[in-house]
Chain A
Amino acid sequence: MAQYTENELAKDLEDQDYKFGFVTDVETETIRQGLDEGIIRLISTKKEEPEWLLKYRLTAFAAWQKMTEPEWAHVRYKKPDFQKITYFAAPKQSKKYESWDDVDPEMKETMAKLGISLEEQKKLTGVAVDFVMDSVSVATSFKSKLKELGIIFCSFSEAVQDYPELVQEHMGTIVPHTDNFYAALNAAVFTDGSFCYIPKGVRCPMELSTYFRINAEGTGQFERTLVVADEGAYVSYLEGCTAPQRDENQLHAAVVELKALKDAEIKYSTVQNWYPGDKNGVGGIFNFVTKRGLCETNAKISWTQVETGSAVTWKYPSCILKGDHSVGEFYSVAVTNNYQQADTGTKMIHLGKNTKSTIISKGISAGNSQNSYRGLVQIHKKAHKARNFSQCDSLLMTDHCGAHTFPYIECKNPSAQIEHEATTSKIGEDQLFYCKQRGISEEKAISLIVNGYCKEVLNQLPMEFAVEAQKLLAISLEGSVG
């Protein structure tokens, strides 16, 4: 990160608008709008799914129909009309790509615009990328290299075809289809996503990365990610998201399940930059995501997220610390500007002995936005010597926005130690003045101070992602001072 300076940032700042707001002109295949059993059967047929999966979808759909949309989050929005959404939109293409060269040039261009030219990435960073556009996975690079190690990294649909037992064994075990309204919806209509399996004792030698993009109009994106790290395995997984600029609110309801078996470690990083809507709060993505990981003995799951996009975010990446000595971490930066609303945080469920969790959350609110941290630390009876440390800080940039903290702390074990701290304050006037006295403009001073304030979280990200995240922070806060 040291080599990246504010000057490079300036160039990115020139274009204040959402820089990923373009529409890719690829032909897409969509099905009719609306949601009923027929649609679910249709999706399943189109994807040539096995019978059990169709059954799973239908059970989830039945459960979903009985549920009501949750309202407890500190967000306000017009509820989506689920009959007005198209649940399947796939870039029309002959078949799966065998190699990068087969990929549609338009698509390649999209990726290039997103700053993720695969060719470059291949050369420079050795990141394996799976690209999910409008619910369908279009490219997974580096597959063969990973194969040698026994690592499976492919689209969810491929996994269903090629590794049905693995998928069936793990899918829905951490986020059951009955978990919540949006998880149920996802289980019923998900179209693709990523699947990753790291075999026993294997350390994945490269960052695995998925890019999600909503392209087609009037569609929702419902992807599922399943990462399984077998005993003693290690993987670092990156996820990035973008969507074009549209006046309508598009729905993104994803499910991510992580399973870290004994001694395994999963690092899951997200840079979420869905279209946030315009200055007046028109349009933008509704990002209602369920992310959860399970740790067996001695395992570790670490969530890192930089959330700058979406009109409404509702997201709590969580850890179930089931095994003794397991570790959960949550590092989060959430920026809201204009009329964005974010209600995000984590749940750390301590079941095993000597389990440990750390929560570092940095919220930044600007414009007329509302930014909430909501977290649960739960220490069960048998979680002897469990430890939690939480630090939740909020920074306010204007007097029209809101910053809120709702931590729930529940303890049933007397040997547990829980520490929670939170602060809310304005960006430091003295710090701004100090920067300005050294000749730094206000805008740049803010970006400098905010980046410093988020350092603890940004440091958790892999280098390329961290640079990207820094730029995003600056772009999101453009013109935010009140």
Chain B
Amino acid sequence: MIEIKNLHANIEGKEILKGLTLNVKAGEVHAIMGPNGAGKSTLASILAGREEYEITAGEITFDGADLLELSTEERAREGLFLAFQYPVEIPGVSNVNFLRTALNEIREAKGQDPISAKEFMALVREKSKIVELDSKLASRSVNEGFSGGEKKRNEIFQMAMLNPKLAVLDETDSGLDIDALRIVAKGVNSLKSPKNASIVITHYQRLLDHIVPDFVHVLYDGRIVKTGGKELALELEDKGYDWIKEELQVS
């Protein structure tokens, strides 16, 4: 589904990604872990097409197409979804209006008719149930005044509404209480299908109890330095990152 090869990227002249390679196939769940500042959010931002980053080398193909050639909204319309680490507030724009606009833009790009108000509302009802999002939140302004946990849940709600091919979740679990964590995981799992894939960026193994990853990667200093199965997450939780750093120094 997505193939990242030897990706190098700078911001303000500073190299953040230093040859990152990652391959995600349909139906898979990949977890990316790594210390603060390793470049996890940078990777997510580049996938979504944030323009501040300069790609100095490497390539990314998404469903066979050159992802880097596409604009942010084109990537979204192709089915790439980013759940933001820090979702932004948009005052005065209701969640519902926002999502309807997004959904219709995506449909239009695919040559489909706009969704009818009735269908749309039905969809909102169905999806907000999955993430147990209070219907009041759906009619409030996008993320405005939402608590940290509500923002994260709203990201998953939007993901459910837009039904992407590839979802990138950037620390969607941080700031969530136990229940919210379960709900978010439920949302992600309910979208899981042989046609979809997700990349889950997290610091905590506890999320991976709920969303079981096929692969766990360690992103350190701009590179994937270790890849393993679910057990790697447990090991990291237990031992921290120092042993990996040491391993790297040895080799």
* Contacts from A to B (Cβ < 8 Å): 2-3, 5-7, 428, 430-431, 433-442, 444, 448-449, 451-456
Given contacts A7-B114, A431-B90, A437-B48, list 11 more A-B pairs with CB under 8 A.
Answer: A2-B96, A3-B117, A433-B48, A437-B81, A438-B98, A439-B102, A439-B105, A439-B106, A440-B101, A448-B98, A453-B92
A440 touches B105 (CB 8 A): yes
A440 touches B102 (CB 8 A): yes
Asked whether any CB of chain A lies closer than 8 Å to the CB of B162, the reply is: yes
Contacts of B250 in A (CB 8 A): none
Between B49, B88, B89, B114, the greatest number of chain A beta carbons within 10 A of the residue's beta carbon is seen for B88
B141 touches A452 (CB 8 A): yes
User: How far, in angstroms, from A160 to B21 measured CA to CA in the complex?
Assistant: 82
Partner of A456, one of B50, B89, B92, B104: B92
A6-B101, A7-B104, A7-B114 known; A441+B88 contact, CB < 8 A:
no
A441 touches B105 (CB 8 A): yes
A454 touches B92 (CB 8 A): yes
Asked whether any CB of chain A lies closer than 8 Å to the CB of B158, the reply is: yes
B90 touches A434 (CB 8 A): yes
Stretch at the interface among B55-63, B69-77, B185-193, B225-233: B69-77
Contacts of A438 in B (CB 8 A): 76, 98-99, 102, 158, 162
B72 touches A433 (CB 8 A): yes
Contacts of A453 in B (CB 8 A): 91-92
Contacts of A452 in B (CB 8 A): 90-93, 141-142
What's the nearest-Cβ distance from chain B to residue A460, in Å? 13
Chain A interface secondary structure, helix, strand, loop or mixed? helix
* Contacts from B to A (Cβ < 8 Å): 48-50, 71-73, 75-77, 81-82, 84, 87-94, 96-106, 109, 114, 117, 141-142, 158, 162
A430 touches B97 (CB 8 A): no
Chain A residue with Cβ nearest B52 = A429
Between A428, A433, A439, A440, the greatest number of chain B beta carbons within 10 A of the residue's beta carbon is seen for A439
A442 touches B73 (CB 8 A): yes
What's the nearest-Cβ distance from chain A to residue B41, in Å? 13
Pick 20 A–B contacts, CB within 8 A, sort by A: A5-B97, A6-B100, A6-B104, A428-B90, A431-B90, A433-B50, A434-B87, A434-B88, A438-B162, A439-B73, A439-B106, A440-B73, A441-B73, A441-B105, A444-B105, A449-B93, A451-B92, A454-B92, A455-B92, A456-B92
Partner of A434, one of B71, B84, B92, B104: B84
Chain B residue with Cβ nearest A8 = B114
Contacts of A440 in B (CB 8 A): 73, 76, 101-102, 105
B77 touches A439 (CB 8 A): yes
User: How far, in angstroms, from A437 to B72 measured CA to CA in the complex?
Assistant: 6
What's the nearest-Cβ distance from chain B to residue A119, in Å? 27
Chain A residue with Cβ nearest B47 = A437
Partner of B101, one of A431, A448, A455, A456: A448
A431 touches B88 (CB 8 A): yes
What's the nearest-Cβ distance from chain A to residue B47, in Å? 10
Partner of B76, one of A3, A5, A436, A455: A436
User: How far, in angstroms, from A259 to B97 measured CA to CA in the complex?
Assistant: 39
Contacts of B49 in A (CB 8 A): 436-437
What's the nearest-Cβ distance from chain B to residue A260, in Å? 29
Partner of A451, one of B87, B93, B106: B93
What's the nearest-Cβ distance from chain B to residue A439, in Å? 4
Contacts of A434 in B (CB 8 A): 84, 87-88, 90, 142
User: How far, in angstroms, from A454 to B77 measured CA to CA in the complex?
Assistant: 28
User: How far, in angstroms, from A452 to B142 measured CA to CA in the complex?
Assistant: 10
